Structure formats: C-alpha cells, structure tokens
Amino acid sequence: MADSNRKPSLVTRVAQALHFVEAETGAVTPAIQPAATYARDENYAVRQPYWYRRDGSQTTAQAEAVIAELEGAKDALLFSSGMSACTAIIEHLPTGAHVVAPKVMYHGVRAQLQNYAAKGRLVLSDYTAGNLDELAAAVRPGETALVWVETPNNPNWEVTDIAAAAEIAHAAGAKLMTDCTGTPPSMTRALDFGADFSFHSATKYLGGHSDVTAGVLSVRETGDFWDEIALIRKLQGTVLQSFDAWLLIRGMRTLFLRVEKACKNAMAVAQHFDGHPLVETVLYPGLPHDPGHAVAKRQTDGQFGGMMSIITRGTEQTAIDVARFCEVFYPATSLGGVESLIEHRKTVSGEGFPVHPRLLRLSIGIEDADDLIYDLEQALSRAQGLA
C-alpha cells in the first residue's frame, strides 16, 4: 500500500543530494556558482541571500544543506578547512573562557587551543580521552564555557561517551563540542547524543577523495552565538569556496557506501594483525577487547570506523620502515579517503606531542582488504629484515 507520508531514508536523501533538481534546467546535479560578487537589483538593493562571496554561495549552501540533513542539525556552516572551523569556535568564546579538552587529540587543534591559552584568550584544562571521571573533575560548574570531545581521538582511537560527556557539560552550564572526524555522521550523529556543536574535518570522510580541504560546524539550535560564528567566518574570509563545496557534494553522495566498505576492511585488517608476532598492539575500537568497544558499538551504529593504529615491534626506525615499504598504502598524512594511507605519527605531530614512537596510523580505504593485509605483511617482514 502506498503511504503518502513515507519519507525516503537518509541513505537515499544523501545519495540524491536531497533529491536535487535545478529549477531552470532540470539538472540533477547542482551547478557551481563561482561569483565573487553579485549585481544589485534595479532599485540598487543588494540581492538575497548573497551579495559577496565571503558570505557564502549557492553551491556552499547546497553542501551545507546536505550536511545539516546528515547531522540532523538546525544549520551547518562550511569553512575552508577543519582548522578554520575549529578556530571560529575558539574565537567566538569570550576572553578568559574556560575550555576543557583531551590531552591527546588532533595535534593541530591541540596546538591552536594552547596558542590561545598562552595568550590569555582562554583557560585550558585537560582530561584523558575516554575518562569521564577526569572530564567531570576538570569541568568547573558555572565557569566552563566549552567541553571539547574528540571521539575516537586521533591517533589512539580512544572512545568518549558523547551522551555522558553532554550530561557532564550541561550540568556545569557548558556547551559540548564534538569532533567525530574519524566516524562521520553516516555512523555517528553527535547532536543526537546531546552535543551542541558537531564538527567534522570534511577533508576526510565527507569529501572522501583526498581532493578538498574543508571543515563543517553543525548545531542543534541556532542563536546569537551562531550568528557570531557566521560573522567570524565572513570577516576572516574562511568560507568554503564553491568549487570545493561542489566536490564535497559529489563526495557525500557516496558517503554511506564508502564508509561501510572502509569499516569492513578496517575490521578485517584489525582482526588479522591483532596478536600478530610483528605487531605489539592494534588500537581499534572494533576489537572486542578494546576498552572503548561497548561505547563505540553504540555510538557508531555498530560500524566502528575505518581508522586504526598499530604499534610495531622493533624500534622507531622499524615503524618508519614499515611505512616506507608499503606499496599499496600511500605513505601520506590525512584520513578518510577512498585510498588507504599509512603514517608514522610521531614524524608528523613532532616532538612534544604524546604519541608512541612506534605508532603507525592507518586510514583504511575501500580497496580489496586482502591487498591491504598482504601489503602490511610484506612491509612488516621487510622492516624486520625477514624478507
């Protein structure tokens, strides 16, 4: 029986970029609107909603609409990179605001929080990612403005319970900001778990093809604070450009498909190398003995994600050699693309950032899982002088 109230599922809506049809032409993909400026109308009034590129564009708005749908958000704002989106959140806080953030998180965001703290723009307190007791102890009721959760955190993939963190933050009068870049909204909808801001580096899974840098902030409720963030984006000139927004729309249409395959591949790789004689530890929440397994299962719709790290046996040089000797994995930074990447994280995050010297971060793509496993096998053997 036909049900006139039936709404296509999120998978369908995203695959069709919200059933996009261009009004004038019937085109099923959006056009790219590259204009930097727009002519005033016959009464010399500015046209709505855009009159200059730093406000946004039709193409960027279309990409934002898809993300807002994915996130179940009231609104979303796209930035020229993940870092510029995170910086806008930091910028909108009043001087002296108290922020609680994990000790281990994406090193660029951590560095930015520390830069602002060093200048007295904010006061920063730490907690160990995933440790809710430490988080609760770090929060100052009535004083903390923002609790920052990165889950799973980069590069250890420790899991923080978003709903529990939201309760702690809200009880203290703070807002919760989540960075779930490692598990995109096809599996983790942070706003549904109680986050106030959901952030993603759209450079990663949302784009999915390593050909665009972008960052997105989504919110459950808008308000003056949201207008302020939009104003920061406009005045800093950090809106996502139209060509990049178009690439992002194209990438998001296959989000569910790509992510599902990457997660399956990641599970196969993790299971193969868990207990492997040349690997000391596999850090992957999908493994049943991982401390974050139960929460991750609930928070990622049972998919666990495509990101993991392995700590090799041997020396730091062994780990670097494994990355050098891979022939299918690319020895490159970033994550969330269709191609698998491997990197020696300490080389990238530098001295002073707490990362195991033998940690290799793996971004598992959508290739044949057997090829990925074989490639790591041969690289590990070669690095240990066994091949």
**Active-site residue, 330 included:** no
The nearer residue to ligand PLP, 59 or 363, going by C-beta atoms, is 363
| Lateral strand order in the sheet of 97-102 | 75-79, 215-219, 197-201, 175-179, 144-150, 97-102, 122-127
Q: How far is the CB of 80 from ligand PLP (least distance, A)?
A: 9
Q: How far is the CB of 332 from ligand PLP (least distance, A)?
A: 12
The nearer residue to ligand PLP, 151 or 242, going by C-beta atoms, is 151
| Cis amide linkage into residue 49, ω under 30° from 0 | yes
Q: How far is the CB of 271 from ligand PLP (least distance, A)?
A: 24
Q: How far is the CB of 273 from ligand PLP (least distance, A)?
A: 22
| Catalytic residue of the set 50, 53, 179, 358 | 179
Question: Residue 69 burial by CB count (10 A; 0-12/13-18/19+): exposed, middle or buried?
Answer: middle
Report phi then psi at 199, rounded to 5. -115, 145
**Active-site residue, 204 included:** yes
The nearer residue to ligand PLP, 229 or 380, going by C-beta atoms, is 229
| Catalytic residue of the set 50, 106, 127, 205 | 106
| Lateral strand order in the sheet of 307-312 | 279-283, 307-312, 359-363, 341-344
Q: How far is the CB of 265 from ligand PLP (least distance, A)?
A: 19
Number of continuous H segments (helices) and E segments (strands) in the chain:
13, 11
**DSSP conformation class of 36:** S
**Active-site residue, 179 included:** yes
| Beta-bridge partners for 127 | 102
Contacts with ligand PLP, residue ranges (CB under 6 A)? 81-83, 106, 108-109, 150, 154, 179, 181, 201, 203, 213, 215
Report phi then psi at 147, rounded to 5. -110, 130
Query: Which SS3 state, helix, strand or coil, does residue 204 take?
Result: coil
Q: How far apart are CA 152 and CA 47, in angstroms?
A: 43
Query: Which SS3 state, helix, strand or coil, does residue 365 take?
Result: coil
Q: Which position's Cβ is nearest ligand PLP?
A: 82
| Catalytic residue of the set 53, 204, 253, 346 | 204
**Active-site residue, 106 included:** yes
The nearer residue to ligand PLP, 335 or 369, going by C-beta atoms, is 335
Instruction: Name the CA radius of gyration of the chain, rounded.
Output: 21
- Whole-number Cα distances in Å, 204 to 54, 144, 259, 303: 23, 30, 11, 17
- Whole-number Cα distances in Å, 371 to 10, 79, 203, 364: 32, 35, 25, 11
Query: Which SS3 state, helix, strand or coil, does residue 165 take?
Result: helix
Q: How far apart are CA 80 and CA 232, in angstroms?
A: 13
Amino acid at 185: P
Q: How far is the CB of 334 from ligand PLP (least distance, A)?
A: 6
The nearer residue to ligand PLP, 246 or 325, going by C-beta atoms, is 246
Q: How far is the CB of 106 from ligand PLP (least distance, A)?
A: 3
Per this entry, what is the length of the chain?
A: 387
The nearer residue to ligand PLP, 50 or 106, going by C-beta atoms, is 106
Query: Which SS3 state, helix, strand or coil, does residue 149 take?
Result: strand
Report, as residue numbers or ranges, the catalytic residues: 54, 106, 179, 204
